[in-house]
Amino acid sequence: MNKEKLFANKIEWLSNELEEARESLVEQFYTDALSGLPNLYKLRATLEESNHFTLIVVNIDNFKLLNDFYGFVVGDFILESFAKTLKSSVKNADIYRIAGDEFALLCKGKMHFYALKEYLESLTLTLSHLQYAYANTEIYIDCTLASSASFEYDDIFSKVSMALKYAKKEQLKFWIFEDTMNFSQEYESNLKYATKVRKAIVHNSGIVPYFQPIIDNETNKIVKFESLSRLIDEEGVIHSPHNFIPISKMIKVYDRITKTIIQKTFEVFEMHPFDFSINLSFEDIINDEMYTFIIQKLKDSRMGSRLTFELLESEKVNDFEKVVQFFNEIKRYGAKVAIDDFGSGFSNFSYIIKLNPDFIKIDGSLIKDIDKDVNAQIVVETIVAFSKKMGIKTVAEFVHSSTVLSTVKQLGIDYSQGYFIDMPSPKIIF
């Protein structure tokens, strides 16, 4: 009998040990090891059991930059410190760490829009300009918040995620998803367009160059062509780069589009004697693989003396030294450099001095009404006078009428380009 009791006690002890081990494993599964907070799995499990809550996501701004600059040890310290701040500052909400730099607050009860807005406004004040000290280094933290005031709980994570992306994009402190917003349609449209871009790149034939002529304003003769990218989808519809380039950057295939355009443009001008230009962005210039590809094309083709690379969106350049190094290298092979869309955005003359281009392309916003816009004429006169003193040739974009062309010539601009001269075409027409 004693043996049976001992055996029963041992079985009970083992059962308790197993139960404790199981509970410990479950707790580990549902707990974030770094912060000690419940994790995403726990949040999902909690949401499945509840249908009356308000979900708020808190994202640390520029965490990747901080982590890269200070190192992962300091990055972990920031995450731990921020978790402690949330636990001490946020009341009446359960706190979770759901991703690297993302936390969630789960409030009981469904807040209507204005109550939620008031709560988020208060929360942003609490979580603004947080200061942490690590080894005599002061680190400042801000964050972005997002939530949903949707009547339905379906796809709650997607809705809050869309609100967070919008807040980040617009540099807002927080944003609230509402059912009246068309975020989901916009994301669906972007996904469909991303598929078109991927297919066009995979098949290679979908990305093609179109060519627009540029004339010499003294002789009225075509002297060169600009190569412009186009996407032709499976239905044969032609898409402008303004539509597919942002998507291609988002899905990280932009460099393949640039390579395709360069390759196909070189092939075309092997059969034609004209000079030609190709657009490059700052992303292209700082891409080591793209740099190697371009230099190899210049070496192999021996067409450098006929080629001009046009730098797009020069106001986004944040490393002029790298750009200058790239320009100097391609000039060794005879290639020239143009600054595109000059006079738009934040373009300024200091860029020109630093980059020392061969051409300045005056933005269409200044040219399109220059025959009747006195202020535009004054600005363009200044650009032309400056360029002549610097020994830089000028090109007018968006020349769409005879009166605009006449004014452009009177102002002393060297070259013209636009629909009045000719529209972009997949073939070289002269």
Q: Does residue 4 fall inside a structural domain?
A: no
- Domain span at residue 224 reads 188-416
pLDDT band for position 201 (50/70/90)? confident
| Domain shared by 142 and 242, yes or no | no
Please determine, for residue 303, whether its predicted confidence score (pLDDT) is greater than 80: yes
Asked if residue 192 belongs to a domain, the reply is yes
CA count, 13 A, side-chain hemisphere, 1: 0
Mean pLDDT for the stretch of residues 199-213: 84
Judged by average pLDDT, the poorest of 155-164, 365-374, 400-409 is 155-164
Q: Tell me, yes or no, whether 5 lies in a domain.
A: no
CATH number at residue 44: 3.30.70.270
Q: Are 234 and 282 members of one domain?
A: yes
Q: pLDDT digit string (tens) for 319-350?
A: 888 899 999 999 999 999 999 989 876 567 88
Q: What is the mean pLDDT of the chain?
A: 88
Is residue 2 situated within a structural domain? no
Q: Is residue 16 part of a domain?
A: no
**Residue range 54-68: average pLDDT?**
91
pLDDT in tens, 93-131: 999 999 989 999 999 888 989 999 999 999 999 998 999
Residue 8 lies in a domain: no
Q: Pick the residue with more confidence: 70 or 270? A: 270
Looking at residue 50, what is its pLDDT? 78
Domain end among 181, 210, 239:
181
pLDDT at 6: 67
